[in-house]
Amino acid sequence: MARSAVSITRKAASSLATCALALPLLVMAAPGARAVGMPQLDFANPLVIGQVIWGGAIFLVLYLLLSRSALPRVEKVLAGRRQTIDNDLDIARRAKQDADAAVDELHQARRSAMAEAQANVEKVIEDARLAALRQTQDMNARLAQEIRDAEARVAHARAEALGSLRQIAGDTAQTLVHQVTGTSAPADLLARQVDHAAAARGF
């Protein structure tokens, strides 16, 4: 773009320089061509011809100066700006690519974190379920053992109570027999009768 602008400027300056150099020849070829009331077109006047020649020479000198000095500098500045713009665009493209890669990495890390968190939650739930199951089993085993111990104590207390009841029944029967008959009944006989009665009633 910069080179094309400089090239067009050079072509335009070259065309103008050619026209400026050709103007004196045209004036000399048509010495009577001037407009009425316009002395600047009175080419019969030597001053006008001199002005035209000097104008052309000055324009040619300016063209040479511009084409050899100013235009290369302008071209260099434009080329530098173009290079800077291209470098900035490359940096922006690379920055965009890095940003896109960072965003993709962030999304991947987020998905990985969510999957890991879900796995941890499921593991915690499973561990809690197993712990609750173990606690339930331990409690059931403890309750069963306590029930067996209680049943054993109840059976022992019942046996003791039945033993005491038989002793009381034997003593009561001996007392009744003594009061009714005035004599004492044999202890073994009373014991067998008490045992028989207890067995009949499920004691």
Q: What average pLDDT is seen over the chain?
A: 77
pLDDT at 20 over 60: no
User: What pLDDT is attached to residue 157?
Assistant: 84
How far is it between the farthest Cα atoms of the chain?
194
Average pLDDT over residues 50-55: 86
Q: Rounded CA gap, 52 and 140, in Å?
A: 125
13 — alpha (psi -120 to 50), left (phi > 0) or beta? alpha
User: What pLDDT is attached to residue 118?
Assistant: 92
User: What pLDDT is attached to residue 182?
Assistant: 66
Higher pLDDT, 156 or 10: 156
Higher pLDDT, 177 or 74: 74
Instruction: Give residue limits of the domains in the chain.
Output: 2-98, 158-200
pLDDT tens string 123-149? 999 999 999 999 999 999 999 999 999
User: What pLDDT is attached to residue 43?
Assistant: 66
pLDDT at 32 over 50: no
Where do the DSSP E strands lie in 34-183? none
Q: Which residues of 135-164 are buried (b: 16+ CB within 10 A; e: fewer)?
A: eeeeeeeeeeeeeeeeeeeeeeeeeeeeee
